[in-house]
Homo-oligomer: A and B are copies of this chain.
Amino acid sequence: MEYPQLKLENQLCHRLYMASNRIIRNYREPLELLDLTYPQYIVMMALWENDGISIAELLEKTSIDGGAMTQILKKMTDKSLLSIVKDEDDKRKRIIKLETHGAELRHKAADIPDKIKCSFAHMTEQEAQQLIELLDKVNQG
């Protein structure tokens, strides 16, 4: 083998790519019941924790692409999950507010984490925790 590093089986990145796609795919079915896509679900989680933040803050918390966020928020506004209002102090900023429907969806979403866990019953809690710590290192770089 001329370039062993160019083998797929030696690639950390390819494993991350597969794992990320795979897990997000697992969310698809539970999220369909809430009429949410995965990035929309991330936005909802960020807002359930911090309602009333600006779009820039939301981008920072979620790591979602700015260009995509505009579209995502538009669709979520259409679904009456949230509304976007201008910041009076700084008119460049726009503030996101959860609507009643969006706030209540939190209760319907409460069982999703457990559903996902079932898909990974073959991993121990400890392994999951270890994985989280390593991924945090990756995300620091």
Q: Please list the residues of chain A having a beta carbon within 8 angstroms of any beta carbon in chain B.
A: 2-3, 5-8, 10-24, 27, 38, 42, 45-46, 48-49, 61-63, 106, 109-110, 112-114, 116, 119-120, 122-123, 127-128, 130-132, 134-141
Point out the residue from B14, B45, B63, B138 that lies within 8 Å of A6, measured CB to CB.
B45
- The copy count of this chain in the complex is 2
Shortest CB distance A119–B (Å): 6
Name A140's closest neighbour in chain B (CB-CB).
B122
Q: Which residues of B contact A130 (CB under 8 A)?
A: 130, 134
Given A6-B113, A134-B130, are A20 and B16 neighbors across the interface (CB < 8 Å)? yes
CB atoms of A116 and B7 under 8 A apart: no
**Is the Cβ of B109 less than 8 Å from the Cβ of A123?**
no
Closest chain B residue to A112, Cβ basis: B6
In the complex, what distance in Å separates the CA atom of A19 from the CA atom of B24?
A: 13
Query: What is the chain B residue whose CB lies nearest that of A46?
Result: B8
For the complex with contacts A8-B45, A10-B113, A20-B21, 10 further pairs of A-B residues with Cβ separation under 8 Å are: A5-B110, A6-B112, A16-B16, A17-B20, A17-B24, A17-B42, A19-B139, A122-B141, A131-B131, A131-B138
